């Protein structure tokens, strides 16, 4: 069956339907990872987006039960050049098409993903629709102009309803769940943390009632400026408890400290983004998934300093607070999927918690990659 990808600017890519049939609207982005499709499908940060994979063959190791980052896919649609009908892997229990079909994700295969990605790189991320229906182009172009086509508070769609806890240990971390990935919870619980995961709209008072030794601010979908109430919560946490933020969590810390956030032309989504640690000059290859970024110039009037920079485009990749136990990174040290060079940042967080617990003055943070 024919399927089409129609962008807001009127351009169209044709291919074949795979996964579920129907229509899926979203912001169209691309990911350059050669593998990791299952983590990408289930990473809540992709909520509201249509993801095109640049690597031409996707699905060749099937679908397994271990690589899920959350229980279900959150992206709206998935575009590949070719999907593997006959996957081969000892852990595989299904294939990509069946997985998308069961979970209602509309897919497009056989499309010229190379020209689509070049188009997005030149013109920037924009809205689009994947459709298997034969409605006229004008119908879709009208719908894509509608202001409120895409939901804005995407965090509300992916956050937990009820608090729950995972792991056990000597440190209690409250994780503010804006769409937290399983990989992050695994890194924290592997370091003797009992993690209490609470909804993104939990107030600072409620967070303090859990008596946390540290608070983690998670990754998540959408524009952080669309969730000002969470920024207020972060403001109330800074200086009271050790804080670590990843991706959306990093952007929320920046906003809470008075910095600005801006939309990137087409974002960073992939598993080979080089990041420089300014303290040592070392470089790590990192996993990334973001479309917004901290404006570097706006940090001048804040108490934040830059700890990491992206070596491709010089954008801000890490921050620390000058006066309080609080740091954050734009990339994904949990590396699911991706290289594990920067996993040591989770060790930095537990060290920060331990020093703070002992009542020691603010330690010299070792934001080292390992």
Ligand X SMILES: NC(=O)CC[C@H](N)C(=O)O
318 binding ligand X? (CB under 6 A): no
**Which residue has tokens 């470089």?**
283
Give the residue, chosen from 276, 290, 336, 356, that forms a contact with ligand X under the rule CB under 6 A: 290
Is 47 assigned a catalytic role? Answer: no
Query: Residues 223-252: x/- map of binding to ligand X (CB under 6 A)?
Result: ------------------------xx----
Residue 254 and residue 246: Cα distance in Å, rounded? 11
- Is 222 marked as a binding-site residue? yes
Min separation Cβ 142 and ligand X, Å: 27
The answer to whether residue 332 is catalytic is: yes
Asked if the peptide bond before residue 321 counts as cis, ω within 30 degrees of 0, the response is no
φ/ψ bin of 62: left (φ > 0), alpha (ψ from -120 to 50), beta (otherwise): left
The answer to the question of whether 342 is labelled as a binding residue is: no
Residue 109 engages ligand X in binding (rule: CB under 6 A): no
Q: Which of 324, 326, 334, 356 is catalytic?
A: 334
* 289 near ligand X, rule: CB under 6 A: yes
Q: How many of the other CB atoms lie within 10 Å of CB of 265?
A: 12
What is the rounded CA–CA span in Å between residue 42 and residue 37? 9
User: Contact with ligand X (CB under 6 A): which of 26, 128, 167, 220?
Assistant: 220
Q: Does 338 bind ligand X (CB under 6 A)?
A: no
User: Rule CB under 6 A: is residue 221 a binding residue for ligand X?
Assistant: yes
Which of 252, 350 has the CB closer to ligand X?
252
**Among residue numbers 45 through 104, which ones bind ligand X (CB under 6 A)?**
45
Q: Are 258 and 299 in contact (CB under 8 A)?
A: no
Spatial contact of 370 and 344, defined as CB atoms under 8 Å apart: yes
Residue 229 falls in the annotated catalytic set:
no
Which member of 291, 333, 337, 338 binds ligand X (CB under 6 A)?
291
Of 330, 266, 220, nearest to 29 by C-alpha is 266
Query: Measuring CA to CA, how many Å separate 296 from each of 68, 247, 300?
Result: 34, 15, 8
Residue 107 counted as an annotated binding residue: no
Q: Which residues bind ligand X (CB under 6 A)?
A: 45, 219-222, 247-248, 289-292
Task: Give the catalytic positions in this structure.
Answer: 247, 332, 334
């Amino acid at each position: 069956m024919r399927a089409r990808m129609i962008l807001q600017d009127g351009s169209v890519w044709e291919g074949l339907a795979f996964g579920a049939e129907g229509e899926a609207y979203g912001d169209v982005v691309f990911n350059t990872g050669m593998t990791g499709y299952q983590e990408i499908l289930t990473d809540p940060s992709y909520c509201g987006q249509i993801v095109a994979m640049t690597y031409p063959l996707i699905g060749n190791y099937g679908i397994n039960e271990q690589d899920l980052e959350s229980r279900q896919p959150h992206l709206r649609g998935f575009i590949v050049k070719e999907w593997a009908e006959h996957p081969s892997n000892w852990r595989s229990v299904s294939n990509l098409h069946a997985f998308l079909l069961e979970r209602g994700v509309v897919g497009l295969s056989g499309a010229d993903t190379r020209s689509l990605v070049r188009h997005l790189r030149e013109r920037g991320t924009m809205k689009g629709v994947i459709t298997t229906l034969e409605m006229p182009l004008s119908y879709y172009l009208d719908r894509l102009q509608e202001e409120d086509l895409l939901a804005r508070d995407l965090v509300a769609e992916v956050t937990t309803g009820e608090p729950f806890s995972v792991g056990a240990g000597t440190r209690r971390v409250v994780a503010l769940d804006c769409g937290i990935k399983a990989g992050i919870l695994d890194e924290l619980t592997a370091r003797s943390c009992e993690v209490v995961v609470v909804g993104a709209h939990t107030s600072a008072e409620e967070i303090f009632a859990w008596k946390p030794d540290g608070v983690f601010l998670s990754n998540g979908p959408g524009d952080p400026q669309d969730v000002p109430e969470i920024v207020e919560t972060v403001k109330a946490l800074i200086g009271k408890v050790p804080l670590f933020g990843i991706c959306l969590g990093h952007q929320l810390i920046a906003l809470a400290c008075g910095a600005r956030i801006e939309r990137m032309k087409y974002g960073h989504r992939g598993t080979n983004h080089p990041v420089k640690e300014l303290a040592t000059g070392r470089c790590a290859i990192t996993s990334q998934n973001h479309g917004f970024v901290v404006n570097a110039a706006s940090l001048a009037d804040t108490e934040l300093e830059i700890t990491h920079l992206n070596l491709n485009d010089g954008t801000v990749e890490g921050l620390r607070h000058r006066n309080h136990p609080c740091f954050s990174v734009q990339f994904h040290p949990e590396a699911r999927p991706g290289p594990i060079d920067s996993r040591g940042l989770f060790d930095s967080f537990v060290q920060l918690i331990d020093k703070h617990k002992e009542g020691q003055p603010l330690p010299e943070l070792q934001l080292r990659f390992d």
